[in-house]
Amino acid sequence: MLKQYSFDKTAVQTFDDQTSLALKTENLQVFYGTNHAMHDANLAFPKNQITALIGASGSGKSTYLRSLNRMNDTIATVTGKIWYHGVDINEPNVNIYEIRRHIGMVFQRPNPFAKSIRENITYALRANGVKNKTELTERIEKSLRGAALWDEVKDSLDKSALSLSGGQQQRLCIARSIAMAPDVLLLDEPCSALDPISTVKVEETLLELQKQYTIIIVTHNMQQAARISSQCAFFHLGHVMEYTPTGTMFSNPQIPVTQDYISGSFG
């Protein structure tokens, strides 16, 4: 029997004016038809930090994440504001394609294109007008180095991306995203389909990447959240229950529901 928790008692941190924020949501709500999947999420994401979104399956964390770059547009109704560089990007007249170039996304299952490794990186760049050969070559190397994949694939850039291992494919997807030079990188359980060794590699990559990017990662794995994130948000049944620095969340959770979830005595 699942314990009942009050949704009134939450502990969500806010940031003062000194902290520079990459992204901020105000009263973000998501509806799938009549199903109210996300209630009033008010979260702010500091620049160049990793923020982890944790919670049980169905808690709304992936739904929330996918709303941030408008990937939910066709399947859900999203209300509220998403502030990015002083613009509410949840407005209907915003160019969503432009937004997605600034807010990249990596998915749960590695989904490289059925093309060569090189083309996986260059396809979207070309489509966005980067045609210069030297620049493309530079971007390939830079993004593959950024995703810690360069040394493994530099001699086989024309091989099919599908011939890579799962962990390599996922790092290729990260490289593909950062090749677009986004500011924010959204990751939706990027390691859930990977083995522990590949997971460590991806985590090391993310820790390195936070110097240049703001990273928001959904994860099922609390150890992972503890290892890599600076801020941590706990989602429960479509509500943001607690949002605190990761150290605080794991050593001194503010409210009973978080405490129960983290200690494993949930439900």
Partner 1 sequence: MNAKRKDMIATVIIDLIVAIVVGILFFLLAYILIKGLPHVSWSFLTGATDSFDGTGGIGVQLFNSFYLLVLTMLISIPISLGAGIYLAEYAKDNWRTSLIRSAIEVLSSLPSVVVGLFGFLLFVVKFKIGFSVISGAIALTFFNLPLLTRNIEESLSAVPRSQREAGLSLGLSKWKTEVGIILPVALPGIVTGVVLSAGRVFGEAAALIYTAGQSAPVTNFADWNPMDAASPLNPFRPAETLAVHIWKMNTEGLASNAAALSAAASAVLIIAVLLFNLGARVLGSYLYRRVTASK
Strand blocks (E) in 77-164: 77-84, 87-88, 103-106
Q: Which is nearer to partner 1, 63 or 177 (CB)?
A: 177
The dihedral built from the CA positions of residue 122, 124, 126 and 128, taken in this order, carries a sign that is negative
The kind and range of the H/E element at 169 are helix 166-178
Using CB under 8 A as the binding criterion, the count of chain residues that bind partner 1 stands at: 32
CB atoms inside a 10 Å sphere around CB 175? 28
The kind and range of the H/E element at 39 are strand 35-41
Q: Residues 111, 192, 212, 230: which binds partner 1 (CB under 8 A)?
A: 111
CA distance 40 to 60: 12
Give yes or no for residue 177 binding partner 1 (CB under 8 A). yes
Give yes or no for residue 163 binding partner 1 (CB under 8 A). yes
Q: Residues 101, 142, 145, 220: which binds partner 1 (CB under 8 A)?
A: 101
Give yes or no for residue 97 binding partner 1 (CB under 8 A). yes
Which tokens in the block code for residue 114? Answer: 């059925």
Q: Residues 5, 84, 107, 234: which binds partner 1 (CB under 8 A)?
A: 107
Give yes or no for residue 172 binding partner 1 (CB under 8 A). no
Which range of residues in 19-27, 49-57, 122-130, 253-261 is near partner 1 by CB under 8 A? 122-130
Binding mask 64-93 for partner 1 (x = CB under 8 A): -----x-x----------------------
CB atoms inside a 10 Å sphere around CB 187? 26
Task: State the minimum distance, in angstroms, from the CB of residue 39 to partner 1.
Answer: 25
Q: Which is nearer to partner 1, 118 or 239 (CB)?
A: 118
Q: Residues 79, 128, 132, 165: which binds partner 1 (CB under 8 A)?
A: 128
- DSSP characters for 176-238? HHHTT--SEEEEESTTTTS-HHHHHHHHHHHHHHTTTSEEEEE-S-HHHHHHH-SEEEEEETT
Q: Residues 51, 62, 116, 229: which binds partner 1 (CB under 8 A)?
A: 116
Task: State the minimum distance, in angstroms, from the CB of residue 107 to partner 1.
Answer: 6
Task: State the minimum distance, in angstroms, from the CB of residue 199 to partner 1.
Answer: 19
Q: Residues 60, 112, 190, 238: which binds partner 1 (CB under 8 A)?
A: 112
Task: State the minimum distance, in angstroms, from the CB of residue 60 to partner 1.
Answer: 19
Residue type (1 letter), 157: L
Which 3 state secondary structure label does DSSP give 33?
A: coil
CA distance 212 to 83: 20
Beta strand 35-41 with 103-106 is unpaired
Q: Which is nearer to partner 1, 161 or 218 (CB)?
A: 161
Task: State the minimum distance, in angstroms, from the CB of residue 243 to partner 1.
Answer: 25
Selection from 223, 222, 226, 246 nearest residue 55 by Cα: 222
Binding site for partner 1 (CB under 8 A): 69, 71, 97-101, 104-105, 107, 109, 111-116, 119, 123-124, 127-128, 158-163, 173, 176-177, 180
